[in-house]
């Protein structure tokens, strides 16, 4: 049985996007799979049945190389591909597989608006990188697992409400977040209760919205962990999100969704990935034709142009046209 180390330190969405590789390496190679990740993101993978051992990556752990060498891995799959992961794999001195991050083409797109990027999801690029191992995408999409007790907790919190939509407020960068003004329009257009989800960084916005719409919202922002949030997503009628980690969790749960794209674009190859065997899909909402978009491959804490038209000029009509499944 081969023993394989997979590296992805962070973040939520990026780690979820590695799960097809984890699953197929485990199933197709009958491998013992270890995963190196920052402790803050253990919860995303702690219930994944395809991982045999989670290893914490921290700056304080100065013995990490000796620890990893002692495992006698057959190879490493580096899905982080930065200076830290490169240094680590070089010190391990064993065969390493990685992928093309397309950073140069992304830079060109952001800075010149010339799009040279291939029409290819990052998951496909992951599988291109490990093709020599004989591993192929099984078409089953992303994975996300949690404890059944957390799903029970999520359902008990809904106070008997069956039909509800999820509005995801959080994102790492402001320019990926759905603005407060747009959130109001989303809440007002829905006949269902709107459940607000996000981290403590958007608590102020969530509290303001729930105070304004006490009968139309349930506010769980900053109050539940990521697994309970995922369970709430699983049972929702629809999901409305920006380009966030929770967007990828919703895709892992095979949920149709509306994605409001701000400063980033689907062309970067990190749009919702359902797998080739799925019939689910996402509806993209974009303000096309803006000369400043995309302005970054990641995001900013404020709009560089101060107008934030990529979000503020969103057409809300798709939210009233989508049929219930």
Q: What's residue 321's pLDDT?
A: 60
Could you read off the pLDDT of 210-269 as tens digits, one per residue?
A: 999 999 999 999 999 999 999 999 999 999 999 999 999 999 999 999 999 999 999 999
- Dig out the tokens for 207 from the structure: 């509290």
Q: Across residues 20-24, what is the average pLDDT? A: 98
Q: Mean pLDDT across the stretch 162-176?
A: 94
Asked if pLDDT for residue 325 goes beyond 60, the answer is no
Check: CB of residue 142 under 8 Å from CB of residue 253: no
More confident residue, 92 or 319: 92
Count of CA atoms in the C-beta half-sphere (13 A) of 241? 27
Respond yes or no on whether the N-terminal peptide bond of residue 11 is cis (omega within 30° of 0): yes
pLDDT for 320 equals: 77
Distance CA 44, CA 33 (A): 16
Per-residue pLDDT at 322: 46
Least confident range of 39-53, 171-185, 240-254, 308-322: 308-322
Domains and CATH numbers, the chain: 3-133 (3.40.50.2000), 148-321 (3.40.50.2000)
- Residue 4 DSSP label: E
Instruction: Check pLDDT > 70 for residue 282.
Output: yes
Tell me the average pLDDT across 139-154.
Answer: 93
Please tell me the distance from the alpha carbon of residue 325 to that of residue 322, in angstroms, as a whole number: 9
**Burial (CB count within 10 angstroms: exposed 0-12, middle 13-18, buried 19+), residue 4:** buried
The predicted pLDDT at position 62 comes to: 82
Its sign, for the CA torsion 37, 42, 48, 54, is positive
| pLDDT at residue number 56 | 94
Task: Report the share of the chain in percent with pLDDT over 70.
Answer: 98
Sign for the CA dihedral angle at 246, 4, 21, 65 comes to positive
Radius of gyration of the chain (CA): 20
Does residue 318 carry a pLDDT above 70? yes
CB 252 within 8 A of CB 23: no
pTM over 0.85: yes
Using DSSP's 3-state secondary structure scheme, residue 284 falls into strand
**In contact, 257 and 168? CB cutoff 8 Å:** no
* Contact (CB, 8 A) for 41 and 13: no
Cα separation, 25 vs 10, in Å, equals 20
Give 60's contacts (C-beta < 8 A, 6+ positions apart). none
**Average pLDDT taken over every residue of the chain:** 95
**Closest to 306 in 3D by CA, of 180, 111, 174, 112:** 174
- Residue 324, pLDDT > 50, answer no
pLDDT over 90 for what percent of the chain?
A: 89
Torsion sign across C-alpha atoms 300, 288, 166, 218: positive
How many angstroms separate the CA atoms of 260 and 282, rounded?
A: 10
The β-bridge relationship of strands 32-37 and 3-7 is parallel
197-219 average pLDDT score? 96
């Amino acid at each position: 049985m081969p023993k394989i180390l997979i590296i992805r330190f962070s973040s939520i969405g990026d780690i979820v996007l590695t799960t097809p590789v984890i699953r197929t390496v485990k199933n197709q190679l009958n491998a013992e799979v270890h995963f190196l990740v920052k402790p803050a993101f253990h919860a995303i993978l702690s219930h994944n049945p395809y991982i045999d051992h989670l290893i914490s990556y921290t700056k304080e752990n100065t013995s990490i190389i000796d620890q990893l060498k002692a495992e006698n891995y057959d190879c490493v799959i580096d899905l982080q591909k930065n200076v830290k992961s490169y240094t680590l794999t070089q010190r391990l001195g064993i065969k390493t597989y990685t992928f093309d991050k397309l950073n140069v083409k992304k830079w060109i797109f952001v800075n010149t608006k010339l799009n040279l990027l291939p029409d290819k999801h990052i998951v496909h690029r992951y599988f291109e990188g490990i093709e020599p191992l004989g591993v192929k995408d099984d078409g089953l999409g992303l994975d996300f697992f949690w404890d059944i007790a957390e799903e029970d907790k999520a359902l008990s919190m809904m106070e008997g409400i069956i039909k509800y939509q999820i509005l995801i407020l959080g994102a790492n960068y402001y320019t990926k977040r759905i603005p407060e003004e747009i959130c109001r329009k989303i809440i007002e257009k829905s006949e269902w209760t709107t459940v607000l989800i996000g981290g403590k960084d958007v608590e102020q916005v969530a509290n303001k919205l729930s105070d304004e719409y006490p009968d139309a919202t349930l506010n769980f922002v900053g109050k539940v962990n990521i697994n309970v949030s995922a369970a709430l997503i699983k049972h929702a009628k629809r999901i409305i999100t920006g380009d966030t980690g929770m967007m990828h969790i919703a895709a892992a749960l095979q949920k149709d969704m509306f994605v409001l794209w701000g400063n980033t674009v689907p062309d970067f190859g990190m749009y919702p990935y359902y797998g080739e065997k799925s019939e689910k899909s996402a509806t993209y909402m974009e303000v096309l034709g803006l000369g400043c978009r995309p302005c970054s491959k990641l995001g900013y804490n404020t709009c560089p142009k101060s107008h934030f038209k990529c979000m503020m000029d969103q057409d809300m009509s798709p939210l009233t046209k989508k049929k219930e499944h």
